Chain A
Amino acid sequence: MENKNEEAVKKPSSNVFDIFVEGARKGWHIGVNNMLPNVLMAYVIAYILTVLGVMDLLGSLLGPVMALWGLPGQAFVVLLTAWLSSSASVGLAASLYTTGVLSGQDITILMPAFYLLGSQLQYMGRLLGTSDVPKKYWPLLMSASLLNTLLAMFVMKFLILFF
């Protein structure tokens, strides 16, 4: 019986409710297996960096650079985290919001960056490796992502003025 049920789920159904449920199930899997562990890690990292005083240090050290986009220096940590995992960086940003380091406006500017720079390290294998792009061009593709990120933050900073 158990197996039959599972097979019924796997068959593509044309019932809208079944399709929704299938999507919601995907959401659960992504959420529990992907988002939740990453967000947990991000919260712990944020806490470690705060306790060690690294957050404050980076804040004052990189403040002038991040000011280009009207962001506090701590936003640099968020970008660095995004490179490892996009969901971790979003979690970190949310945690920095609760401690008052980042404002809603800062997060809006960073929002496309989470994904344009997101998870590059993982995706090297999962995307560039799988799609069989010659290793010679990997640095070029990474520079494209970085360029995207930096420009997109300017665009967001500009767009924010209209809302």
Chain B
Amino acid sequence: MNSEEKQEKNKSEKLMQEQTDPGLTGQAKVGVVSILALLFGILFFAGFFASFQDMKWMKAFDFQALSGTFGTIKTVGKDTFLGAGGVSARAGFLFAFSLLPSVMFALGCVEVLAHFGALRAAQKLMTPLLRPLLGVPGIVGLTLITDMQSTDAGAAMTKELYDKGLIDKKEQTIIAAWQYSGAGMISNFFASGSAVFALLAVPLIIPLLIIFIFKFIGAIYVRIMLNTFFKEDFRRGE
């Protein structure tokens, strides 16, 4: 009940905001760009660009053409519901839809493995490497492991470590470098990567390992740059 009331309140607040939004009350400036956008929109949806028979490339500006086509099942018993020969938005939608089961299954498995401490074990194994390779304290391990699952949570933890004074600016930058390239690698790899798993010429753990290793290589490169090129910045311990 309570949350329903809250939702209702939020809704009305949003509505109020929308009503005072300059864009909707007609107080916003309408420039040349707005007019052109409207004109293009009308032509785009009206199918104007599709009417040029001898200029096929104009189809790239036509809503109907860009909506695309679903594939059709040509070989019964071989084609899946995706069919063959689909293009653009419709084909993309069905294709993405066909990936959902493996994405859900993969992330379910990751969650179970994490529950049994697989990531904690990884953290433990990684900790002794952190000081010699990256020059950061072992406490950072959890931050790095978190980044492998969630970009946002990992970033928030990095800031927290700095705010608490557990790492300095240089260490913070090195950690962010590790996180930045291949952020959220486990979730992202199994979520979007599943689109091409079947096409890979190597076992799918190989690219995942390469990503992991290169996270270190990139961070080491940044560490070296900070120690040489940007040496002056850290002289007095910022």
Contacts and interface: CB of A to CB of B under 8 A. Distances in A.
A23 B210 contact: no
5 contacts: A23-B112, A129-B155, A131-B176, A144-B177, A152-B210
Contacts of B38: none
Q: Is the interface of B mostly helix, strand, loop or mixed?
A: helix
Contacts of A31: 96, 99-100, 103-104, 191
Contacts of A11: none
Contact of A47 (B88, B190, B218): B88
Contact of B195 (A91, A108, A130, A136): A91
9 tightest A-B contacts by CB?
A23-B111, A43-B92, A27-B107, A87-B192, A27-B104, A130-B155, A24-B108, A131-B158, A23-B108
User: For chain A, which range describes its interface: under 10, 10 to 19, 20 to 34, or 35 or more residues?
Assistant: 35 or more
Interface stretch (B13-21, B28-36, B55-63, B72-80): B55-63
Given A48-B66, A51-B57, A23 B109 contact: yes
B191 A30 contact: yes
Given A23-B110, A39-B92, A127 B151 contact: yes
B181 interface: yes
Interface string A89-120: 01101110100000011011001101111111
Contacts of A144: 177, 180-181, 218-219, 221-222
Nearest to B158: A131
Interface in A47-106: 47-48, 51-53, 86-87, 90-91, 93-95, 97, 104-105
Interface of B: 3, 56-57, 59-60, 65-66, 68, 87-89, 91-93, 95-97, 99-100, 103-112, 115, 151-152, 154-156, 158-159, 162, 169, 172-173, 175-177, 179-183, 185, 187-193, 195-196, 199-203, 206-207, 210-211, 214-215, 217-219, 221-222, 225-226, 230, 233
Contact of A97 (B89, B196, B203, B225): B196
Given A39-B95, A145-B181, A140 B222 contact: yes
Contacts of A149: 181
B191 A107 contact: no
Contact of B100 (A28, A128, A142, A151): A28
Contacts of A136: 233
A40 interface: yes
A35 B177 contact: no
B112 A19 contact: yes
Given A51-B59, A86-B188, A112-B207, A127 B176 contact: yes
Most buried by B among A41, A51, A111: A111
A105 B155 CA distance: 34
Nearest to A125: B155
A123 B92 contact: no
B92 A42 contact: yes
A126 B153 CA distance: 10
A121 B106 CA distance: 26
Given A23-B111, A86-B188, A43 B176 contact: no
A74 B113 CA distance: 38
A90 B193 contact: yes
A140 B92 CA distance: 35
B195 A159 contact: no
A46 B156 CA distance: 35
